């Protein structure tokens, strides 16, 4: 890890420790940014373009090769309830 990585980690720990919610980006912004990277990774793994329906933020073709990367199985009690709610808000 480089100097910038340690600085980033230190800022994260400081925000958590101080309960500082005035960060450089909101969780919604971070998730929207991260989803682009995730979709790019899925595209590389499958060798296909990943198409997402903009209004539902779900795969346009649920039978595509990307579908196996789209969901995960959670342990009981840890199921994801939000259904990508961050992505639907602008």
Residues in the chain: 90
Whole-model pTM: value is 0.56
For the chain, give the mean pLDDT: 79
Question: Which residue, chain included where needed, has tokens 């808000």?
Answer: 89
C-beta separation of 39 from 33 below 8 A: no
In this predicted model, which residue has the larger pLDDT, 72 or 69? 69
Distance CA 51, CA 44 (A): 13
Q: What is the pLDDT of residues 11-50, one digit of tens each?
A: 888 888 988 877 777 777 887 788 888 889 999 999 999 9
Percent of residues, the chain, with pLDDT higher than 70: 83
Torsion-angle region of 52 (φ positive above 0: left; ψ -120 to 50: alpha; else: beta) = beta
């Amino acid at each position: 890890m480089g100097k910038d990585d340690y600085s980033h980690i230190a800022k994260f720990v400081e925000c958590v420790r101080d309960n500082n919610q005035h960060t450089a980006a909101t969780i919604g912004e971070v998730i929207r940014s991260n989803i682009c990277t995730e979709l790019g990774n899925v595209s590389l793994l499958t060798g296909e373009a990943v198409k997402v329906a903009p209004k539902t933020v779900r795969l346009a073709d649920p039978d595509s090769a990307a579908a196996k990367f789209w969901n995960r199985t959670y342990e009981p009690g840890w199921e994801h309830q939000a259904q990508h709610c961050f992505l639907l808000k602008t």
